[in-house]
Amino acid sequence: MKLSIIGAGYVGLVTGASLAELGHDVIIMDIDRARIEKLDKGIIPIYEPGLDRLINKNSESISFTTKMDEVIREADIHFICVWTPPLKDGSADLSAVRAVARDLGKAFAKRKIKTPIIVTKSTVPVGTGKAIRQIVRKEYKNDFSVVSNPEFLREGQAVADMMHPDRIIVGSNDEESAKTVASLYQDLRAPIIITDIATAEMIKYAANAFLATKISFINEVANVCDLVGADVESVAEGIGMDKRIGKSFLKAGMGYGGSCFPKDVRALQQFANHNGYDFKLLKSVIEVNEQQRQMVVEKLINNLVTLKNKNIFILGLAFKAHTDDVRESGAIDLIIRIQKQGAKIRAHDPLALLNARRDLDDEIKFVAQPYQGAQGADAIVIATEWPEFRDLDWSVIKKQMRNPLIIDGRNLLDPRQMRSHGFIYEGVGRR
Ligand SMILES: NC(=O)c1ccc[n+]([C@@H]2O[C@H](COP(=O)([O-])OP(=O)(O)OC[C@H]3O[C@@H](n4cnc5c(N)ncnc54)[C@H](O)[C@@H]3O)[C@@H](O)[C@H]2O)c1
């Protein structure tokens, strides 16, 4: 089938490449001219393992454009993959989604196409499908359908997630269009759930809010572990083996971040509230997540008495390992909090240095090598769970530091090993 992808970000590029791999012709559109120019030259503007290979392999069936008219000429099904960032009150900013709906409506009207299908992959609150229908209807009087097909990929393993999904959700009030969209994925052999459009939109928020709740839950358990001398890693293992609970998302630490969990939890809370429901549990999930970052600051102060003029080396800037994405990264939030206490910051990340530089001020010294950052440090904070940090020569690092303190905000390192090197080691809820 001929498909268009509108929005060439993490979701758009991975969706486009994967649908091309499944045998469809794909045109990828973005308003960011520089991004499309790069893609035309074969440069992938984001880091996502396997994405460049998949795009190169399917280059015959993938094209790029900045023009909506070209999109309409080339495709019958249009996937909206644009951003939906949070507004100040926590609700999702749908201005890009609305702009795309308007542009699609206008472009449809120019060409009189046979029943185009608009698919939302962007995470959008319940009711957005209906709103898209109204916006397009203003411009275009013939038949068209709106389908919700929320995306569950995880950055850092997005291609694998897209090609091997746990399930595919397709929601529409038009059964035929839902079946057409579902058929695009038939070769993936994943379970497909067809629902109405509001339910599909809700599934995405409920999934992310549940996962964030699991993280805040284990973080609260970790904080109690710290007080009573229990070990949260073993507690997580012990409860995770219960199939009703499951092992995933039980890693205690500095809390969740990234472009999805924080915004989606806030948006669900906000649209529940807007519809007259006070989602109390989510308020606590958010509060606990913020508290976890402050907990790291307090662990530093407890050990160093004051952070004024102390050299703190932050290992990790990405919101999680295996990505260059720093949006709502716990590490960035932590740096800002520590800076406010008067500390001098050095920071290192294997992939996210460039992106982090844009979000932080010039006072911070970014180092290309972890050993550089350790020189004269009063403390090291592990802020992202990059596995390669485990393999650093910690005895060399210890010699370079002024004070051998490690606050492991991701419970990445082995406490016994660190203590045997002579470090004062504190994790989150670990004995
Ligand atoms: N990143 C994830 O892990 C992930 C996972 C699942 C769902 N989502 C959801 O998918 C959506 C996209 O997320 P992302 O991380 O890919 O965002 P992104 O910021 O990486 O990319 C968004 C792209 O949309 C483009 N864009 C903005 N307005 C546009 C317009 N009017 N016309 C054409 N292009 C436009 C931007 O230039 C940008 O390239 C969001 O709603 C997000 O919540 C993201």
To test the pocket of ligand 1, the residue of 10, 33, 70 to mutate (highest count of ligand atoms within 8 Å of its CB) is: 10
**Separation of 113 CA from ligand 1 center, angstroms?**
26
Number of residues assigned to the chain: 431
Identify the pLDDT of residue 98. Answer: 98
H or E segment to which residue 309 belongs? none
Say how many C-beta atoms besides its own lie within 10 A of residue 342's C-beta.
11
Say how many C-beta atoms besides its own lie within 10 A of residue 122's C-beta.
26
Domain(s) of CATH 3.40.50.720: residues in the chain: 2-194, 211-426
**Contacts of 263 by beta carbon, 8 Å cutoff, 6+ apart:** 84, 85, 86, 92, 123, 328
Question: What is the DSSP code string of 14-36?
Answer: HHHHHHHHTT-EEEEE-S-HHHH
Q: Which one is catalytic: 29, 260, 297, 321?
A: 260
pLDDT classification of 113: cutoffs 50, 70, 90: confident
Question: What is the DSSP code string of 214-234?
Answer: HHHHHHHHHHHHHHHT--HHH
Show the tokens assigned to 391: 């393999």
Residue 112 reports pLDDT greater than 80: no
- Per the confidence metrics, is the pTM higher than 0.85? yes
Asked whether the beta carbons of 315 and 389 are under 8 A apart, the reply is yes
**Separation of 237 CA from ligand 1 center, angstroms?**
35
**Separation of 6 CA from ligand 1 center, angstroms?**
9
- The type of residue at 359 is D
List, edge to edge, every strand of the sheet that includes 77-80.
62-65, 25-29, 2-6, 77-80, 117-120, 145-148, 168-172, 192-195
Per-residue pLDDT tens digits for 235-268: 999 999 999 999 999 999 999 999 999 999 999 9
Please report the atom of ligand 1 found closest to the CA of residue 8.
39
Query: What CATH number should be reported for the domain whose range is 2-194?
Result: 3.40.50.720
Show the tokens assigned to 183: 């058929």
Question: What is the DSSP code string of 249-290?
Answer: T---SS---SSSHHHHHHHHHHHHHHTT---HHHHHHHHHHH
3-state DSSP assignment of residue 377: coil
**Contacts of 46 by beta carbon, 8 Å cutoff, 6+ apart:** 9, 10, 13, 324, 325
* Domain range 211-426, CATH class: alpha beta
Angle, helices 197-228/232-240, rounded to nearest 10 degrees: 140
Q: Which residues of 354-391 are buried (b: 16+ CB within 10 A; e: fewer)?
A: ebbeeebeeebebbeebeebbeebbbbbbbbbbeebee
260 catalytic? Reply is yes
Ligand 1: which residue has its CA nearest to atom 20? 9
**Separation of 81 CA from ligand 1 center, angstroms?**
5
How remote is the C-alpha of 282 from its chain's centroid? 18
Q: What is the CB < 6 Å shell around ligand 1?
A: 6-12, 29-32, 35, 81-84, 96, 99-100, 122-123, 151, 153, 155, 259-260
**pLDDT over 90, % of the chain:** 97
- The type of residue at 313 is F
Residue 362 reports pLDDT greater than 90: no
Give the position of tokens 């520089």: 34
How far apart are alpha carbons 46 and 66 in whole angstroms?
Answer: 18
How far apart are alpha carbons 257 and 274 in whole angstroms?
Answer: 24
Which spans in 89-173 are helix H? 95-111, 128-139, 158-163
Per-residue pLDDT tens digits for 19-75: 999 999 999 999 999 999 999 999 999 989 999 999 999 999 999 999 999 999 999
Ligand 1: which residue has its CA nearest to atom 35? 7
Which spans in 46-174 are helix H? 51-57, 68-74, 95-111, 128-139, 158-163
Per-residue pLDDT tens digits for 5-34: 999 999 999 999 999 999 999 999 999 999
3-state DSSP assignment of residue 389: helix
**Separation of 11 CA from ligand 1 center, angstroms?**
6
Q: Write down the mean pLDDT value for the chain.
A: 96
Per-residue pLDDT tens digits for 310-337: 999 999 999 999 999 999 999 999 999 9
